[in-house]
Chain A
Amino acid sequence: MNYSLFITGSPTASRACQTALDFAEAVVAHEQHGIQGIFFYEEAVAIANALAMPPRDECNIRAQWATFAKQHNIPLYVCIAAALRRGQLNQAEAKRHEVEHFNLADGFQLEGLGSLISLTLESDRVVRFN
């Protein structure tokens, strides 16, 4: 079964990003299952904030997602419109909006909702985490 994950819950105000990673790890552990892609929307876009610094003795869910995605070659899409609204910019968007700073973490990419449509079409199941 081919899955995509649609994550909407905040990385701090919910456990959505953490639970989703548990699920993703369980999926890739099975040969007959795979993950097409991960799409972060609504409050979940904060996952890609490179300036969020959890205490050293707590889980850094952003880093864990980035490592997992790299290891399994799974794209981490962050909705560009939802991200811009919440101050989550990459260098190109910072330039386009004429602001000084950008904070998109490595391993995450800003994408339009069209990428979510593609994932929907390419996946047997889209599982949402809120």
Chain B
Amino acid sequence: MATIEFDEEGYLLDLSQWDEALAEEIAAKEALELTAAHWEILRVLRAFYEQFEVSPAMRPLVKAVSKELGPDKGKSIYLMKLFPGSPPKLAAKIAGLPKPANCL
């Protein structure tokens, strides 16, 4: 099995190496235990990247979550609770996606 490498901030270098077990490991390094609530956001995020080839910043992520999971979850406060600090960055890191550019 190939070695799994991360950059200095903890983002996966080879995005094709990502799987759900690795996501759990990355999350653990961030002191986060992934629940079903985390996973549904991570799936929205990965689908977003697959569809548009870009890691979303906060605003588009909120809109995408709102569209997929309903307006109650499509709120920055809800995402902040699940992925503290910067939800788009932390979630992208765990989802094995590039760091979002120009993230607010």
Question: Per the CB under 8 Å rule, do A and B touch in the complex?
Answer: yes
Task: Report which of A81, A96, A113 forms a contact with B7, defined as CB distance below 8 A.
Answer: A96
Complex Cα distance, B94 from A87, in Å, reads 27
Contact A114 B102 (CB under 8 A): yes
Nearest B residue (CB) for A114? B102
Interface size on A, residues (CB 8 A): 8
Interface majority SS (helix, strand, loop, mixed), chain A:
helix
Contact B8 A98 (CB under 8 A): yes
Note all chain A residues with C-beta closer than 8 A to B7.
Answer: 96-98
Note all chain A residues with C-beta closer than 8 A to B28.
Answer: none
Task: Report which of B8, B101, B104 forms a contact with A81, defined as CB distance below 8 A.
Answer: B101
Complex Cα distance, B100 from A112, in Å, reads 12
- From residue A42, how far is it (CB to closest CB) to chain B in Å? 15
Q: Does B9 interact with chain A (Cβ within 8 Å)?
A: yes
Nearest A residue (CB) for B101? A81
Binary B-proximity of A93-117 (CB < 8 A = 1, otherwise 0): 0011110000000000000111000
Note all chain B residues with C-beta closer than 8 A to A112.
Answer: 101-102
> Measuring CB to CB, which residues of chain B are less than 8 angstroms from any residue of chain A?
7-9, 101-102, 104
**Chain A to chain B contacts (Cβ below 8 Å), 11 pairs:** A95-B8, A96-B7, A96-B8, A97-B7, A97-B8, A98-B7, A98-B8, A112-B101, A113-B102, A114-B102, A114-B104
